[in-house]
């Protein structure tokens, strides 16, 4: 990156945007084996380029939409657009055209999408005279379809249903100036499940999908409004944007939801350098009134980003709920780099009041950031994606033609822990639909200083679940590196001497994750080890592990503790071992499944 401009020429945030520097997009990036070895098979990743925060997560009644921060021209942050993919199951994703472009008004930073059913915004054209009963070639005429008909002459090719894949983008075509140069593709697999194309129009309604997002320049960050004429494939900016401008250059990432008790839309947005979360109210999505500010609170950090406010159920307490405010921080995480913190409290339609001064972190590792919760899910289910990465090293990881991935979808709730604190609970959603035939691995007892192992498939995601109780040791004295009261280890390894281990120490009731014995990537901020406390004075724990190429997700004690970590072995991990040190262990409820590939991407499989 020899032609780097100064940081003050970029929008104000705490990470630089190399993708904006002259010549970066024209530098050839040739795919290497790392692009296939580390490409996940069930986690969403972009076809090429650089992806970070999830945006605009919404379920429209038939289709899940995933929008995301995207530089389609180079594997570095910068030139930020809204990428877009759709799915009917949250795993099998179809790439769609870029939904919101970078323009002369600025980059398209993070934001949200809401369903304006009744066209309270007035952005959608009026229905034709025949009303909803009037028919169209593809069904009833809706405001969405009327808009498409009205705009077709001027839209031209942009109204096509053909995804704007890299091969269809002039800027990414195969030429000497192409950002990815001449690349090769390995044979594609033939075992991908069939995917049903999403319905191109919404059910009959007066309105449709509306986006609220940040336009970012070096001088200013303002909130923009846009509407979609085609069910979310592309958005058209409101002609009187911005709808919210308070004169700051660090004011971004609006998340909007309908607050039924107060009868208005509520926007949660950050004054990032002031470490404040601001709340605004509106009845038409165009005119916003300031309601209150929350903060400064929580971690010091540099920038507050990507806020979310959602009401969550408290498990085992009937209809009890609490409001939870999520705020991402970068940098400033206790583990280093970027992290998401949360506060538990109440929201009355104007102010968020925390229950206490305690904050929680969503993850005990360091590769889950900028989470966003889905809008419009049935039964008010709380479901989210987070960006699987950390700003300290996300532009240096070994895969080069693409960078960035999402976590698996996770549900959210609250539960009281053994100290009676309300804690966030996160569970993976929908893994059972991906399971193949179980891998035979029967384990009951593991004696002290012994272990068992099994071969695991390479190039394929796996799911491991188990419950472990470490035997009580009568003489809990220090015993070298074996632990006072015994340790239990789960180890993924290969014949080249690499290992990825997750261990439990029975004396302190703590869990650790160690990725330091993998040799595919090294960088000063790529922390090797993490730990988290579990239930105090307990020798028992349960765990679910998802391992998918470079993606490792750990859900402990039914989601009360979660670890998200990038892993880069130089060769595939092909052996799973369970080991006990100086105390035996009982293993229950063990299951081990391969997970079928869902992403149509070239991988190691």
pLDDT digits (tens, 9 = 90+) for 219-261: 999 999 999 999 999 999 999 999 999 999 999 999 999 999 9
Write down the pTM of the prediction: 0.87
Compute CA distances 260 → 58, 122, 153, whole Å. Answer: 18, 20, 39
Confidence of residue 94 (pLDDT cuts 50, 70, 90): very high
The three-state DSSP-derived secondary structure of 189-250 is CCCCCCCCCCCCCCCCCCCEEEEEEEEECCCCEEEEEEECCCCCCCCEECCCCCCECCCCCC
Mean pLDDT across the stretch 503-525? 97
Does residue 164 have a pLDDT over 80?
no
**Do 346 and 352 touch, CB atoms closer than 8 A?**
yes
Distance CA 138, CA 134 (A): 11
pLDDT of residue 72: 95
Confidence of residue 478 (pLDDT cuts 50, 70, 90): low
The region of weakest confidence among 7-11, 366-370, 427-431, 437-441 is 7-11
Q: What percent of the chain has pLDDT over 90?
A: 78
What are the structure tokens assigned to 442, written together?
């029967």
Distance CA 374, CA 178 (A): 35
What does the DSSP assignment read for 388-410?
A: ---TTTTTTSS--SEE--BPPPE
Q: pLDDT of 322-359, one tens digit each?
A: 999 999 999 999 999 999 999 999 999 999 999 999 99
Angle, CA 354 vertex, CA 351 and CA 360 arms, to 5°:
130
pLDDT of residue 183: 36
Average pLDDT, the chain: 88
């Amino acid at each position: 990156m020899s032609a780097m401009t100064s940081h003050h020429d970029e929008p104000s945030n705490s990470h630089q945007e190399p993708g904006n520097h002259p010549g970066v997009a024209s530098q050839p990036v040739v795919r290497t084996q790392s692009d296939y070895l580390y490409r996940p098979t069930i986690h969403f990743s972009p076809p090429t380029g650089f992806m970070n925060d999830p945006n605009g997560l919404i379920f429209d009644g038939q289709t899940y939409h995933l929008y995301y921060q995207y530089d389609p021209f180079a594997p570095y942050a910068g030139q930020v657009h809204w990428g877009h993919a759709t799915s009917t199951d949250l795993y099998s994703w179809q790439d769609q055209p870029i939904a919101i472009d970078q323009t002369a008004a600025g980059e398209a930073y993070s934001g949200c999408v809401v369903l304006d059913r009744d066209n309270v915004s007035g952005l959608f054209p009026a229905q034709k005279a025949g009303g909803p009963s009037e028919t169209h070639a593809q069904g009833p005429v809706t405001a969405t379809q009327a808009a498409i008909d009205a705009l077709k002459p001027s839209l031209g090719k942009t109204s096509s249903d053909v995804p704007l894949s890299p091969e269809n983008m002039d800027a990414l075509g195969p030429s000497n100036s192409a950002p990815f140069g001449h690349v090769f593709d390995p044979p594609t697999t033939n075992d991908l499940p069939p995917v049903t194309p999403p319905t191109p129009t919404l059910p009959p309604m007066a309105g449709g999908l509306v986006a609220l997002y940040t336009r970012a320049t070096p001088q200013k960050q303002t909130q923009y409004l846009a509407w979609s004429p085609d069910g979310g494939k592309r958005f058209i900016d409101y002609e009187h944007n911005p709808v919210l401008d308070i004169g700051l250059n660090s004011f971004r990432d609006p998340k909007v939801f309908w607050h039924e008790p107060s009868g208005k839309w509520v926007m949660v947005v950050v004054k990032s350098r002031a470490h404040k979360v601001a709340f605004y109210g509106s009845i038409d999505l165009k005119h916003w009134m300031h309601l209150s500010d929350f903060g400064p609170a929580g971690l010091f950090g540099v920038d507050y980003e990507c806020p979310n406010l959602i009401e969550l159920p408290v498990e085992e307490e009937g209809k009890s709920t609490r409001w939870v405010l999520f705020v991402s921080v970068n940098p400033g995480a206790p583990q280093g780099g970027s992290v998401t913190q949360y506060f538990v409290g109440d929201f009355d339609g104007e102010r968020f009041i925390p229950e206490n001064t305690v904050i929680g972190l969503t993850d005990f590792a360091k590769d889950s950031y900028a989470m966003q919760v889905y809008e419009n899910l049935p039964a008010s289910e709380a479901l989210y994606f987070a960006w699987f990465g950390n700003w300290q090293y996300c532009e240096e990881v070994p895969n080069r033609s693409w960078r960035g991935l999402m976590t698996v979808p996770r549900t959210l709730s609250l539960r009281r822990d053994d100290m009676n604190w309300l804690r966030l609970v996160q569970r993976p959603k929908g893994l059972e639909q991906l399971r193949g035939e179980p891998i035979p691995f029967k384990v009951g007892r593991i004696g002290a200083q012994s272990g068992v192992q099994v071969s695991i498939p390479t190039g394929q995601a796996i799911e491991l679940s188990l419950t472990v109780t470490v035997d009580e040791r009568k003489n809990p004295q220090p015993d070298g590196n074996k632990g006072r009261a015994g340790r239990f280890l789960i180890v993924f390894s290969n014949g080249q001497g690499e290992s990825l281990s997750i261990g439990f120490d029975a004396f302190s009731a703590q869990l650790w994750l160690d990725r330091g014995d993998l040799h595919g990537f090294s960088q000063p901020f790529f922390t090797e080890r993490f730990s988290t406390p579990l239930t105090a004075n307990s020798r028992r724990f349960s765990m679910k592990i998802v391992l998918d190429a470079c993606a490792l997700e750990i859900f402990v004690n039914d989601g009360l503790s979660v670890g998200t970590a990038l892993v880069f072995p130089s060769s595939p991990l092909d052996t799973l071992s369970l080991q006990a040190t100086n105390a035996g262990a009982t293993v229950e409820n063990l299951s081990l499944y391969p997970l079928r590939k869902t992403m149509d991407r070239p991988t190691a499989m």
